[in-house]
Amino acid sequence: MTDRLYIDVHILQTVPPANLNRDDNGNPKEAYFGGKRRSRVSSQAWKRATRVHFAETRDPQDLATRTKRISARLTEGITERTAVTAEDARRIADALIKATGISPGKKDGDTAYLLFYGRRQLDGIVDLVAETATDLAALDTKALEEAVKNLPVKEQLQTGHPADVALFGRMVADIPSLNVDAATQVAHALSTHAAELEFDYYTAVDDENTADETGAGMIGTIGFNSATLYRYATVGLHQLRDILGDDKAAVDAVDLFVDSFTRSMPTGYGNSFAHRTRPSLVAVVVRTDQPVNLVSAYENAVPASRGIVAESARRLATEFATATDQWGDEPLYVGICHTLGAETDETGQELAKAFGANRTFAALRDGLRASLTERVNGN
């Protein structure tokens, strides 16, 4: 396999009136791009939505969790696996966490920051004390901390990373040895067109109002907008291989990410707007040079006159084809899934010319997996 292998994911997705991702005023996040105000969804919001979606296809035990409450989870594990009391399990858990050097938080039992770790990594820490827990529980606090300080607790957090830690990385500022460089980069989703902030003024009626009572029981406003979003992310397969240490696991992680990133949706005000949609277009590109975000296709905001989704797709195809021709960096693999008409239509023809024949999403993933597997096998 080549030293570097990047999988770029390009998505066009139309969202109805919604507030997917709030700013500090409670309104949908926005950004200026190309001199126009655009709708924006932060990369953090979509990364979390992607991680939540992982659990729909993977055993949660094979995934990670991000929390300050690692000591509480470790206490539960020790209690379940040993005969010690919950209080003694907590003392052992606190001593084990202290042995890692992770800074304690202000609240008893919390760490100072969110820690992203694999659930099976935590099981590995429990394994270190499962047989000696009763003896450890009999020690006072100072002796207990001395007894566990040389156990390979930190090593359990440095190895056996689950796919989501490998994909999204981990930063522990005061313990650099626990850091994991993310194999995935996710851009902020941006509308391909100018977008306006609007407000929904709503009222709620008190069901117990009498006939002579008037007025609402509650009134309020919610900011919203609607947009066709360009979403982009890239995954470094070579980075996944380094972190996971296994070719198949790395390819599996790419497939997991592509599936969940495509299908997921931030949930902000979901009950108020029922905003879940599926993408109109998903294109994947495998490259050996560098990740390439195609957002420059939308520097000039797409007008509504030709149909925003179709015009956005045509611009994406043109931008990709032009960049490939001008730079001469022919991708190793290109695939597309879209709902934008047959290849006899103008849009379909331009998409086919740039990205190849339209496929189902399942076929797109299968083709990507086959291409990556061939590469990692050195064929």
C-alpha span between 25 and 29 (Å, rounded): 9
User: Within this chain, do residues 221 and 295 fall inside the same structural domain, yes or no?
Assistant: yes
Per-residue model confidence as pLDDT tens for the chain (379 residues): 458 999 999 999 999 999 999 999 989 999 999 999 999 999 999 999 999 999 999 999 999 999 999 999 999 999 999 999 999 999 999 999 998 888 888 888 888 889 999 999 999 999 999 999 999 999 999 999 999 999 999 999 999 999 999 999 999 988 999 999 999 999 999 999 999 999 988 878 777 777 777 767 778 888 889 999 999 999 999 999 999 999 999 999 999 999 999 999 999 888 888 899 999 999 999 999 999 999 999 999 999 887 899 999 999 999 999 999 999 888 999 999 999 977 778 899 999 999 999 999 999 999 999 999 999 887 5
Q: How many CA atoms lie less than 13 Å away from 19 in the CB half-sphere?
A: 19
Strand partners, 158: none
In terms of domains, do 115 and 251 share one?
no
Q: How many CB atoms lie within 10 A of CB 303?
A: 11
Question: Could you give the number of structural domains in the chain?
Answer: 2
| DSSP helix/strand/coil, 287 | strand
Q: Token pair 């045509």 is at which residue?
A: 314
Note whether 363 and 266 are same-domain residues.
yes
- Domain membership of residue 33 as a residue range: 6-54+186-376
Beta-strand relationship, 115-118 and 281-287: unpaired
Cβ-proximal residues to 166 (8 Å cutoff; 6+ apart), any chain: 180, 183, 239, 240, 243, 244, 253
Instruction: Classify residue 175: in a domain, yes or no.
Output: no
Cβ neighbourhood burial of 312 (10 Å; 0-12, 13-18, 19+): buried
Residue 320 lies in a domain: yes
Can you give the pTM of this predicted structure? 0.92
CA distance 233 to 284: 10
User: 3-class DSSP state for residue 205?
Assistant: coil
Same domain, 19 and 87: no
Is there a domain that residue 146 lies in? Answer: yes
| Distance separating alpha carbons of residues 14 and 281, to the nearest angstrom | 10
**Cβ atoms within 10 Å, residue 48:** 16
209 and 104 co-located in one domain: no
User: Does any domain span residue 179?
Assistant: no
308-327 helix and 346-355 helix, angle to the nearest 10 degrees: 30
Question: How far is Cα 129 from Cα 110, in angstroms, rounded to an integer?
Answer: 21
Same domain? 212 vs 250? yes
Residue 343 sits in the same domain as residue 195: yes
Residue 233 pairs in a beta bridge with 9, 186
In a domain, residue 324? The reply is yes
Tell me: do 126 and 204 sit in the same domain: no
Which tokens hold the place of 218?
């509650």
Asked if residue 217 and residue 85 are part of one domain, the reply reads no
